Every structure is written in C-alpha cells, then in structure tokens.
Amino acid sequence: MATIFPELTKSTRSRMTPGERRFAERLKMLLEDDYLVWHEPPAGTMRRYPDFVVLHPSRGLLLLEVKDWRPDTIRAINTKSVELLTAQGLVTKPNPLEQARQYAYNIVNKLKADPALSVPEGQYRGNLICPYGFGVVLTNITRRRFEAMGEEALRETVLPGRRLICKDEMTSSTDPEAFQERLWGMFDHAFGDRLTKPQIDQIRYHLFPEIRVSAPGELFPGDDEETTEETIPDIVRVLDLQQEQLARSLGGGHRVIHGVAGSGKTLILGYRCRQLAQAATKPVLVLCYNIVMASKLRSLLQDRELSGKVEVAHFHGWCAQQLQYYCPDLQFNGDDAWKHRVEAVIDAVDKGWIPRAQYDAVMIDEGQDFAPEWLRLITQMIDPKSDSLLFLYDDAQSIYSRSLGFSLSSVGIKAKGRTTILKVNYRNSREILTFARDFLEQFAGDASSQDKPNALIDPQACGVSGPKPIVRKKRSFDDEAAFAAKCIAKWRKNGIALNDIGVFYAKKWQGRKLIEKLNNDRIPYYWAQQGPSKAKYDARENKVLLTTIHSAKGLEFSRVILIGVGDLGENPDRVEADARLLYVGMTRAREGLVVSASKKTPFVEALLEQPTRAA
C-alpha cells in the first residue's frame, strides 16, 4: 500500500475532483509499500502543481495530470491545447500531456543540477540518477472510447496511448501488476541503481522546500529561488515521512501534537504557519512561554511574506499588548505585574472590552508551560468560522510546575480523536539523547506511569551517532567559566559558527561571571539576561547565546554548554522540576554537549557516573 501525502482523509478528499479521489485510492491500494505519492504538491522552483507525483526507489519519478473530462465534452485537441464544451460554452485549456511534460522537465532540470542527483560519469553523465516519466489520467473515458476519438496517427501525436491511463484501467478490480505496467510504460528509459534513502531525501529536499529542516538561524527555509542562487548543503535535512505526513494532513479544527524533545514539533508548526497564512483573512497567532524562543521565531519571520500575516509573541507579552491596545488605562508594576496583566486580560475579555475571535488560527508551542486559565483565554481568541488551533507539548520539558494535570477539553481544546504522538527524536545524537533520558529517569521516573494524564513519552533515538557528552567537576565557578571559554575557542577553530553554540547557566549570577571571562577572551556573545534583551535576540547574528536554562526552551544548537549545574537539585522540593530543567538543557544540543559543576550534589554524582568522554 503506497504512502500518500496528504493522507486521504475526509478533508483532503473534499479538495479533490471525483476522478482524482478514485485515482488516489487506486494508487494507494494497487502500489506497494515503497511507493511515495504526493497529490498537488508545489513542484520545483516554478511552484506549479502537477496533480500527482509518484516516486519509487527502483522505478524513478513520475508526473501525472488527471482530467475528469467526458468524451462528448472534447471538441478539438492538438499538441498544445484542448477545446472543451462546458456549461459556460467553449473554453480552451492546455493539453494535459504538455502540462505534464513541462512539469517533468522543470523538476528534472532542478534535480540534476545537484551533483548528488546526477550521473557522475559514463554514457549518461550529467543526467538524473533515476528514470522519469510523465502522463495523463482520463478518469471518465475508457480505452476503447478514446481509441474511437480519431485517427491513430493523430491520437499518437497529441495524446500517445502509452502515456495514458483510462477509466477502465483504474477500477477497483484492476490487477495491480497491469496497473503498474501502465504507469511505468510512460517512461522512455530504465537505468540506474535503486535510490538510497539519502537520495530520496535529497529529491524531497528539492521538490518540497517547505519540508526542509533549516540551518541555524533559519526556521522557515526560503523558496524565493528565482532571485537567489541556492547553495546546497553537504548533508540535507528534511522532515521524515511521518512528520511530513502529519504536517500535510493536519485538517481544520483543533489539533494536538504530544511529542518528545527534538521530534520536530516546531518544524511542523512552521509548516502549518505557512499553510494557514496563505488563506487567512485574519492574523495567525503563534504563542509560546519563552521570551527568547518568541524572539527567535519573530526574527526568523522578518524576511518572509508571512511577517504581515503571522503574529508571534510569548504569552505574557501578548497579554501586555492586548491591554496596551484595548485598555491603556490599566497599568501594572512590580514583581507580580505579569500575573495582574493576565488577570486583567481575562476580566476584560469577559466584560467585552477586549474582543474575542481576533485570529483565524492560534498555534501554541511548548504548551505544557501554559496554565489552564491561560488556555481558556486563548481558545476564545479563535474565530469560530475557522476554529483552527494547533497545540504542541511535551511533559518531559515541563519546568514551571504546570504539567498538564487537567483535561484539554476542560480549557476549550477539542482534542478527542485529534491527538498525534511523536516518539522519535531527530535532533540529538544517540549519545546525547541516551545521556539525557537516563538522567531524567533517575529523578523523574514516577512521571512515566501511564496511569497519569501527563505521562512521559519515552523518546526513540533516530539521530546519528556522535561523541559522548563531557561532564567536568571543577574547583570553582571561575574554573567552569574558563573551561567553557576553552571549549568555545576550540569549536570556533574547528569551524563551528558562533550562533550555533549555546551556553546556558543555572542561576542568574553565573551569567555575570561568565561574561567577564568571554570579554577577556574576546569571544562575541549575546547575553539574553532580562526581558528587553531576550526580546531583541536575533538568531542570525554570529554570536554565542548566553542565557538561563529556563530561557533555552525551544532552541537548539550544534554545541551546548550547561554550566553551574551544581546549583540544581539542592532543594528537596524541586528535585523533579530541576531534573526536568536539566533535561531541557541537555536536549538543546544536536551534536556536542558539555556539562560542568563545582559543587557535589546528587545530580552531579549521577552525571559523573554516566558514560562520558574526556575533553
């Protein structure tokens, strides 16, 4: 059974013509498991849409146009166009075979420009490494009826029989082998070895820029390829097939994604942003708890067409904006000002001072950190006509004592039957994920009980293997800071970009000590210490990020240093919360993790006992 993107749900079927629905069902049922099929995807740089793209590791790439035309509606046809009789009279449409041909050539030219996808030598040097073909599906015309529509010579010129699938060749009783023979008869050549998984991912990378996993400082990969020459990375990263299926198949209404750290939740959010913003008549609101994360998302949206359609904010900043715009006379100061602002917004919405239904869609990232009363407020901001909500969370990363101990339905989120669980971690190397998971289980093991509503998901490693984390016990925090600076200097010398390095400390005073050392060593950094500086963080600047572990939630870096962790886990009432916090910090690292402490605590002892490597 083929994998079809998006999944054939009631929602996706409603966007297909009757013939497209039937043909999609036949593709799904009559092809084997290793076939991938996309319905109406954007194709290459032209952003044009063939009806179906079919990819098979051995067969190659096939582009298909589907037409629901009936025999009596076709009045004239040539190699370029078709004249059709419609309810509006005679209309001229492009010849679908010519459309499919152009789609195929655009895509093939794009793919073979990548050295990884072109034949390096021999007879076919410079050609695409896999065969390709194109054709037309006539869902309401049988083969016999088609052959009676004119002289064979003319038919073979405008719609060659081998490039057609007709109505009687795609029935529910069609033999799978005969169906596939029709498909692959549309190819001119058969050559090349079976495509590997990396090669298939490379093809997907070029065909569908929206599924690219971005480089540091870039959440939404650009698709303005007409104006800039594209640089292809040595190793491409794309959403895996499950992530792509989920992102493409998210229907309307409320959707919940419960995923482990590094499972691609924010990538799916980014895809959904683009998808919804294209058709939105009101803004799309993206909320998270973390100021630094909101700043990163906001800065990455500045250069895109989404910037005027998508509003990104951390929750308390959004509350302040609502009061400033609708209730400017309400002013709050002091340490509890954030709490009073939230209460004031809730009250103002209840009284009608702040309007409901301000947004076409709302997306909540790191939802485990949101209090129930916040969620009740936010769900009222969605326009009932669209009623679009995406809620993403991971209870293993709940560090503010607000783990989801309540039902989502109690706060207005209609999650029944609409929750997807992502168990596979793609961000961290296997060694980092194992290290973090083993540590967390020692101090938050009870939270994995499946009887609890906030049960932890056991993450499954999918990342590449890498070096084991480094754990160092130093004599003083000054020694920790010196060791951190030494690591940064070494990574910088080895070609790691500074904005792909994060240094996260446990207590605020440690940040002040740390910058003294970085200043002395002339290492460029950005210190996100307070609200204003956190709000101005720009992930594109080539500087090391310094901030608290709390503020690192939602971020990721090639290299991460966790410093001063001896100050965590000392309070018996906060052991589990601090363990979760440290887990969050560890899982920010994709490839390299360094942990240091200058105190002896149960946390530090547990870390030192785990398999690590020498510096």
Note the pLDDT tens digit of each residue in 92-150. Answer: 999 999 999 999 999 999 999 999 999 988 888 899 999 999 999 999 999 999 998 87
Look up residue 104 and give its two tokens.
């195929």
pLDDT at 246: 87
Instruction: Specify the 3-state DSSP secondary structure of 359.
Output: strand
Quick one: 614 exposed, middle or buried, by C-beta within 10 A (0-12, 13-18, 19+)? Answer: exposed
Q: What element of type H or E holds 288? A: strand 284-288
Range from 57-66, 423-432, 446-455 that averages highest in pLDDT: 57-66
Buried b (16+ CB within 10 A) or exposed e, 362-393: bbbbbbbbbbbebbebbbbbbbeebebbbbbb
pLDDT at 461: 65
pLDDT at 55: 96
- State the residue for tokens 């097939």: 241
Does 306 have pLDDT greater than 90?
A: no
Buried b (16+ CB within 10 A) or exposed e, 577-606: bbbbbbbbbbbbbbbbbbbbbbbebebbeb
When pLDDT is cut at 50, 70 and 90, the band that residue 419 belongs to is confident
- What predicted TM-score, i.e. pTM, was given to this entire model? 0.76
Integer CA distances (angstroms), 518 to 484, 529, 544, in order: 9, 15, 10
- Cα–Cα distance for residue pair 94/104, rounded to 1 Å: 15
Phi, psi at residue 353, to the nearest 5°? -75, -35
Q: Please provide the distance, in angstroms rounded to a whole number, between the alpha carbons at the two ends of the chain.
A: 49
- Cα–Cα distance for residue pair 219/268, rounded to 1 Å: 10
Look up residue 354 and give its two tokens.
């702040």
Cβ of 469: how many Cβ atoms within 10 Å? 25
- Mean pLDDT across the stretch 217-239? 55
**Residue among 436, 318, 337 at smallest CA distance from 378:** 318
pLDDT at 366: 86
Does 42 have pLDDT greater than 80?
A: no
**List of domains in the chain:** 3-207 (no CATH), 241-422 (3.40.50.300), 461-609 (3.40.50.300)
Angle CA(218)–CA(219)–CA(223) in degrees, nearest 5? 80
Does 359 have pLDDT greater than 90?
A: yes
Integer CA distances (angstroms), 152 to 137, 148, 603, in order: 18, 9, 80
- Cα–Cα distance for residue pair 489/522, rounded to 1 Å: 10
Buried b (16+ CB within 10 A) or exposed e, 48-76: eebbbbbbbbebbbbbbbbbbbeeeebee
Give 56's strand partners: 60
Which positions ≥6 away from 272 have C-beta within 8 Å? Answer: 247, 250, 363, 390
Range with lowest mean pLDDT among 150-159, 220-229, 465-474 = 220-229
Which positions ≥6 away from 73 have C-beta within 8 Å? Answer: 84, 85, 86
Buried b (16+ CB within 10 A) or exposed e, 440-466: bbebbeebeeeeeebebbebebbbeeb
pLDDT tens per residue, range 554-581: 888 999 999 999 999 888 889 998 999 9
Range with lowest mean pLDDT among 140-144, 267-271, 548-552, 579-583 = 267-271
Q: What is the DSSP letter of 238?
A: B
When pLDDT is cut at 50, 70 and 90, the band that residue 160 belongs to is very high
Phi, psi at residue 421, to the nearest 5°? -105, 125
Amino acid at 367: G
Given a contact cutoff of 8 angstroms between Cβ atoms, the answer to whether 61 and 53 are in contact is yes
Torsion of CA 156, 158, 163, 165, to 10 degrees: -100
- Cα–Cα distance for residue pair 120/133, rounded to 1 Å: 21
- Cα–Cα distance for residue pair 497/298, rounded to 1 Å: 21
- Mean pLDDT across the stretch 278-282? 85
Strand ranges, E, within 379-464: 388-393, 419-422, 424-425, 460-461
- Cα–Cα distance for residue pair 418/196, rounded to 1 Å: 34
Which positions ≥6 away from 88 have C-beta within 8 Å? Answer: none
Given a contact cutoff of 8 angstroms between Cβ atoms, the answer to whether 584 and 445 are in contact is no
pLDDT tens per residue, range 371-407: 999 999 999 999 999 999 999 988 665 555 555 667 8
